[in-house]
């Protein structure tokens, strides 16, 4: 991992304090700081050096920095531009990352994937630690990208995971469950 300090709560606090960054409740910002969870996500991605990964939500760069040495390219989409100075520090040594500062909910994912495909830069894996308030809508959009994707790995709130995996006849079963299970194998 490029910057193991990013899984240290003390280092996260130091960075947030240094750059006077306050998590925004309206963005439901939360940063991945658990080394075990990070490793589970990385293992689930079944990475190889040729992979180009799309990460949703750069945050402070914890997942970005862990992915970088394992893949060809990490493209990360982050909404909060106030993280720019912090990310310049936490990701400064990485040369195979690209950060796009956009709102993922307004970002044209289909066009993005098409442009990458036309350039021969296919992205076949997508990953993210998703905020609750966008996770259901965003996962729905990503399921529509199934023709481009080999694998999608998301850390979601327990309730969202239960809806994704709910079986017919259960109270959490709905359109999200149906579509997710038709296009993917949630677990």
What local confidence, expressed as pLDDT, does residue 187 receive? 78
Cα dihedral 70, 6, 29, 52 in deg (nearest 10) = -10
Domain ranges of the chain: 4-156
The two three-digit tokens of residue 60, written as one number: 């402070």
Q: CA-CA distance, 155 to 108, in Å (whole number)?
A: 22
pLDDT in tens, 19-77: 888 766 655 556 677 888 899 999 999 999 999 999 999 989 999 999 999 999 999 99
pTM more than 0.85 = yes
On whether the 4-156 domain is CATH 3.40.50.150, my answer is yes
pLDDT (tens digit per residue) in 95-119: 999 999 999 999 999 999 999 999 9
For 1-31, write each residue's pLDDT tens digit. Answer: 445 577 778 888 888 888 888 766 655 556 6
* Residue written as token pair 């709905």: 174
Q: If pLDDT is split at 50, 70 and 90, which confidence band does 181 have?
A: confident
Can you tell me the distance from the alpha carbon of 139 to that of 154, in angstroms, rounded to the nearest whole number? 9
**pLDDT at residue 2 in the model:** 47
Mean pLDDT on 124-141: 88
DSSP 3-state of 120: coil
Strand partners, 98: 75
Task: Say if residues 146 and 183 touch (Cβ distance below 8 Å).
Answer: yes
Question: Under a CB-based contact definition with an 8 Å cutoff, are residues 175 and 166 in contact?
Answer: no
Beta carbons of 59 and 84 less than 8 angstroms apart: no
pLDDT at residue 4, as a whole number: 54
């Amino acid at each position: 991992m490029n910057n193991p300090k990013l899984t240290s709560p003390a280092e996260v606090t130091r960075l947030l304090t240094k750059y006077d960054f306050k998590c925004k409740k309206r963005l439901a910002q939360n940063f991945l700081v658990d080394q075990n969870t990070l490793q589970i996500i990385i293992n689930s991605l079944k990475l190889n050096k040729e992979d180009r990964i799309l990460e949703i939500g750069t945050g402070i760069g914890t997942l970005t920095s862990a992915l970088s040495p394992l893949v060809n390219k990490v493209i990360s989409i982050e909404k909060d531009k106030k993280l720019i100075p912090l990310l310049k520090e936490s990701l400064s040594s990485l040369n195979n990352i690209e950060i796009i500062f956009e709102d993922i909910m307004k970002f044209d994912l289909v066009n993005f994937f098409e442009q990458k495909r036309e350039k021969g830069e296919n992205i076949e894996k997508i990953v993210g630690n998703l905020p609750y308030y966008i996770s259901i809508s965003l996962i729905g959009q990503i399921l529509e990208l199934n023709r481009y994707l080999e694998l999608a790995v998301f850390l979601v709130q327990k309730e969202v995971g239960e809806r994704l995996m709910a079986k017919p006849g259960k109270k959490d079963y709905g359109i999200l469950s149906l579509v997710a299970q038709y296009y993917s194998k949630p677990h």
